[in-house]
Amino acid sequence: MDFSLQDVTRKFQELYQTEPLVVRSPGRINLIGEHTDYNDGFVMPAAIDRETVFAISPSSDNVSVIYSLKYDETFTVNLQDPQPVKAPKWANYLLGVLRQFVDKGFAVKPFRCVFGGNIPMGAGLSSSASVECGFAFALDRLNGHNLPKNDLILMAQWSEHHFVGVKCGIMDQFASMMGAEDQVIVLDCRSLEYHYSPLALKDYTLVLCDTKVKHSLVDSEYNTRRAECERGVAILQQHYPAVKSLRDVTEDMVRAHAAELTGKVFDRCLYVVQEIARVQEASQDLEKHNLTAFGRKMYETHDGLSRLYEVSCRELDFLVEQARATDVVAGARMMGGGFGGCTINLIRNEAVDSFVATTKEAYHKTFGIDMEAYIVHVKEGTGVAH
């Protein structure tokens, strides 16, 4: 169920009869640069107009409580010693952030908090990062610390690693916190240096097609891919001692040692080094406002993810082929970890409705599943709602 900024604010006022500080924290898309983050490569995410909203104020009775609109549940927080809990699971995303404030010596006064949002779950739009970043920002502002956003990003990522148990890269939290309207972030995952590239869509609309499937392979295969990339690095290091990750490797180097990169290791390494280069080139396409060239790279990325990295699935491949079969889609690819979730599509404005209707019908006919489509706009990152 979706909750708007007004829903969250209204619930807070109903519960506590006072005006809160309201913070919004967006989900994110990744236009290009998939499975490059843990290889020290580049990614190109953007914050979107789906968000988690926090309403927060000091508590009048020294008790700290968080209310989840989605679960209609209140959780009482131990401010002195926040620890992970078995239930409710949603509380851990917030408790890990709070733990970071405590461990780093930043005072947190007792508070009341209500949160909810409209980011579709399981679609790969990083609802978890949005929750962590929004809460970190809300606590920071409520307590007047005014920490740099980079510090809050790392606190949010720490929460995901240590209290939620997902060893995510930095991209999701970075994109949620640092997004800018009509701009994509070109982020170097090694140095965390970044710049913005303009996303002048004009004749095009970004549409996500949600397969509504999540194959159980995603976690085990993710770990396997990481291990395969590390194996490739270990082999290449014997020839090129300066290599620390696939970021330091060229396509020529991979091809020169194909015989040693046995099993699937060659394919995995080839995809990653091609994708790292593709993000750099795609950034130049955006600078030149060349969405046709950018779209072609989206298709190339999908082909690499499907054939070389093997993290796609029948449903994702089907949706990309539907896009490729028409001249109204400049580019499409699977987005996220793989084995389900969404495709991201760059569709001509006038064709959005007809493309979505035709694709929904074809998808249902093939898989018996009702595909969902979300039109997204690129917005600014986490901040106080105005």
Mean pLDDT of the chain: 96
165 pLDDT band, cuts 50/70/90, is confident
pLDDT at residue 236, rounded to an integer: 98
For residues 12 and 129, give the distance between their C-alpha atoms in angstroms, rounded to a whole number.
Answer: 22
Span 345-360, pLDDT tens digits: 999 999 999 999 999 9
* Annotation marks residue 2 as catalytic: no
pLDDT at residue 123, rounded to an integer: 81
Are 239 and 269 in contact, with CB atoms under 8 Å apart? no
Average pLDDT of 202-226? Answer: 90
169 pLDDT band, cuts 50/70/90, is confident
**What is the DSSP secondary structure assignment for residue 171, as one 8-state letter?**
H
Span 90-138, pLDDT tens digits: 999 999 999 999 999 999 999 999 999 999 887 888 899 999 999 999 9
Decide if pLDDT at 166 tops 90: no
Selection from 130, 139, 119, 115 nearest residue 177 by Cα: 130
Kind and range of the H or E run holding 251: helix 251-256
pLDDT at residue 216, rounded to an integer: 76
Average pLDDT of 226-245? Answer: 97
Structural tokens at position 189: 């995952």
Phi, psi (5° rounding) for residue 289?
Answer: 55, 35
> Taken in order 39, 41, 44, 50, is the CA torsion positive or negative?
positive
Helix 127-142 with 149-159: angle, nearest 10 deg: 130
- List the catalytic residue out of 140, 172, 267, 285: 172
Decide if pLDDT at 386 tops 90: no
Span 23-55, pLDDT tens digits: 999 999 999 999 999 999 999 999 999 999 999
Q: What single-letter amino acid sits at 177?
A: M
Q: Residue with structure tokens 């898309």?
A: 29
Span 289-341, pLDDT tens digits: 999 999 999 999 999 999 999 999 999 999 999 999 999 999 999 998 899 99
User: Taking the CB of residue 194, how many other CB atoms lie within 10 A of it?
Assistant: 16
